[in-house]
Amino acid sequence: MKKVGFTRSIHFKFVMIYVLLILLAMQIIGVYFVRELEDRLVDNFKSSIKERIDLLEFTLKEELVKERDADDPTLESEVNNILTDSTSSDILEIRVINNRSRIIGTSDDTNQELVGQITAEKMIKKVLTIGVVMDNIFVDNQTGNRVWRSATPIVSNDEVIGAIYLETKIEEVYSQLNEINRIFTNGTAIALGITAILGVLLAQTVTRPISDMRKQALAMAKGNFSRKVKVFGYDEIGQLAITFNNLTKRLQEAQATTEGERRKLSSVLSYMTDGVIATDRKGRVILINDPAANMLNVSRETVLSQPIVSLLGLEQYTFDDLSNEQDSIILDYSTKEKPYILRANFSIIQKETGFVNGLITVLHDITEQEKIDMERREFVANVSHELRTPLTTMRSYLEALAEGAWQDKEIAPQFLDVTQNETERMIRLVNDLLQLSKMDSKDYRFNKDWIDFIRFFHRIIDRFEMTKQQNVHFERFLPNAALFVEIDQDKITQVLDNIISNALKYSPDGGRVTFKVIEKNDVIEVSVSDQGMGIPKDNVEKIFERFYRVDKARSRQMGGTGLGLAIAKEMISAHGGDIWASSVEGKGTTITFYLPYDRIQEDDWS
């Protein structure tokens, strides 16, 4: 949020209110005070002058009514004497006028020529006729000063016998008033200054907690709850600050709880092995956990708010269909190279009102399970097939025997021979299956011995060399020194028997079978190569699968069950080794396996 400018701040407003209130108060006081003072001062001035006029009137009245002898001084000179005595610095001029409006004396020496003249002053004439005091204030054009003039009748026996006209300097009263005004203005200015300073300081006590709370609110909006508002007192603002702090604490706690719940939920969702997708009531994705995003191979950000039906590739469904789907839906994303099957379960998020608020989809990767199921089905089919073939053969031979062939001395032994062969084949098959099943359920024990592998291998090859019926040449590349390994002789013999018999089976007439043992760091590598028909490139991996045969008919003819290499693989890996095949079609095949080999043990032996 923008910083509040000083002129817009509450602080400034407070100060302004103080200053304006003081200014208003001073103005009202000032107007009232100055007006009152002016009235008082002017009244005082006037009454002090009036007292002197009264005295003068009394003296002049005596002179005016006096009977004069010839040798008495004239009225004019008497009046002149009286006026000279009565003047003072604040009086500009005093004139005395008789009842016929003639000026009989003036205190102003420069105006002595006026004595004896008829006065032109209207105010004097009026006073002479109506006999009341009159006065007014005028501004002297020459000096610009205010002058107060008054005309007072001289009354004797209820008869106006003359008048006193007086002009005084009242300007001094006004300049005194001006001086007081100036002092008052200065006082106001000082008062305003002090008020402003005090206002700034006092307003702070109110504004500081408020601006503190504002700062805290801003910090809270950014998620920082660590701040606290300072409490300066226990007035309304102080209480507000306390409430604000409580509110912060509550909010922090609420936030922490929400955050904790959110974290719990998100860790539950991300550590789940199942994929979870939640949608809003319109079917748009609002939440998807990592497993779900990985399963669907999408990025979380791009799928948010996408319709779920298009995300799952279920365009044939509507959102309502999914909401009402009771069973799970199988999503088959398998490609030619890789099987990939998911199972989706849907449940609706419902409000108490029964209104559908969204959909939760749980995805489960069932590829492995499906694979196992498929393998099992295949296995059962294979076993049944493998058993049915010898059984049908036997049935037809036994039927022939029963129908009379048993009497034929030539055919009967041949037929019995076939049934015996088939029976043996079945027994072999069943034995192989049993062995595999034991290996699958880890229900077997090894009789391991430390043996010299080279001698052991030589013996096996010798056996084959002696019994072989084909024209195949054996070539051995075996080290001269003994190599001791810990193995179960019977089991490894079975493995080698199968590999060598396969090599012989598929070797051409005059072919060569090569035996090799190489000592590597911590393994010995054993390989048997032939020059036979080889295995097509795509099938090389598959020959270790159960019942797998490249050419079924041919292999069966040779009495094979297709389990030999599968058993070999199980046994070699049970010994901690691995087995693989490499082949070039038409050129030959090499079957290689390795067994763990410990040189230190070897040293102990030697």
- Is 594 near ligand ATP (CB under 6 A)? no
276 binds, among ligand ATP, Mg ion, none (CB under 5 to 8 A by kind): none
The distance of Cα 467 from the centroid of its chain, to the nearest Å, equals 81
317 binds, among ligand ATP, Mg ion, none (CB under 5 to 8 A by kind): none
The answer to whether 502 and 561 are in contact (CB under 8 A) is: no
- Is 504 near ligand ATP (CB under 6 A)? no
Pairing mode of beta strands 285-288, 329-332: unpaired
The answer to whether 97 and 119 are in contact (CB under 8 A) is: yes
Q: Shortest Cβ contact with Mg ion: which residue?
A: 564
Instruction: Identify each DSSP E strand in 297-438 by its residue range.
Output: 329-332, 341-350, 356-365
Question: Is 53 or 563 the residue whose CB approaches ligand ATP more closely?
Answer: 563
Return d(Cα 95, Cα 79) in angstroms, integer: 10
Residue type, 557: Q
Question: Is 502 or 507 the residue whose CB approaches Mg ion more closely?
Answer: 502
Q: Which range of residues in 108-116, 179-187, 189-197, 491-499 is near Mg ion by CB under 5 A?
A: 491-499
Number of residues located near ligand ATP, criterion CB under 6 A = 22
151 binds, among Mg ion, ligand ATP, none (CB under 5 to 8 A by kind): none
Return d(Cα 34, Cα 86) in angstroms, integer: 32
Return d(Cα 240, Cα 237) in angstroms, integer: 5
- Is 502 near Mg ion (CB under 5 A)? yes
Output the smallest distance, CB 312 to ligand ATP, in A.
41
Question: Is 169 or 428 the residue whose CB approaches Mg ion more closely?
Answer: 428
The answer to whether 568 and 543 are in contact (CB under 8 A) is: no
Question: Is 263 or 537 the residue whose CB approaches ligand ATP more closely?
Answer: 537
The answer to whether 19 and 192 are in contact (CB under 8 A) is: yes
Question: Is 39 or 490 the residue whose CB approaches Mg ion more closely?
Answer: 490
Pairing mode of beta strands 578-584, 523-529: unpaired
Tokens of 307: 């319709």
Question: DSSP state, 118?
Answer: B
Of the residues 283, 534, 564, 588, which one makes contact with Mg ion according to CB under 5 A: 564
Output the smallest distance, CB 498 to Mg ion, in A.
5
* E strand or H helix at 165: strand 159-169
- Is 493 near ligand ATP (CB under 6 A)? no
How many C-beta atoms surround the C-beta of residue 283 within 10 A?
20
Question: DSSP state, 207?
Answer: H
Question: DSSP state, 256?
Answer: H
- Residues numbered 66 to 105 that lie near ligand ATP (CB under 6 A) are none
The distance of Cα 228 from the centroid of its chain, to the nearest Å, equals 22
Q: Which range of residues in 58-66, 375-383, 396-404, 494-502 is near Mg ion by CB under 5 A?
A: 494-502
Return d(Cα 11, Cα 202) in angstroms, integer: 9
Q: What track of x and - describes contact with ligand ATP for positions 522 through 561 (by CB under 6 A)?
A: --------x-xx-x-------x----xxxx---x----xx
Output the smallest distance, CB 528 to Mg ion, in A.
12
- Is 565 near ligand ATP (CB under 6 A)? yes
Output the smallest distance, CB 513 to ligand ATP, in A.
9
- Residues numbered 244 to 303 that lie near ligand ATP (CB under 6 A) are none
- Cα-Cα-Cα-Cα dihedral sign, residues 233, 239, 240, 245: positive
- Is 589 near ligand ATP (CB under 6 A)? yes
- Is 498 near Mg ion (CB under 5 A)? yes
Question: Is 248 or 502 the residue whose CB approaches Mg ion more closely?
Answer: 502
Output the smallest distance, CB 532 to ligand ATP, in A.
5
Output the smallest distance, CB 263 to ligand ATP, in A.
54
Q: For residue 440, how many C-alpha atoms fall within 13 Å in the half-sphere facing its CB?
A: 9
597 binds, among Mg ion, ligand ATP, none (CB under 5 to 8 A by kind): none
The answer to whether 528 and 499 are in contact (CB under 8 A) is: yes
Q: Which residues would be at the binding site for Mg ion (CB under 5 A)?
A: 498, 502, 564
Q: Which residues would be at the binding site for ligand ATP (CB under 6 A)?
A: 498, 502-503, 506, 530, 532-533, 535, 543, 548-551, 555, 560-566, 589
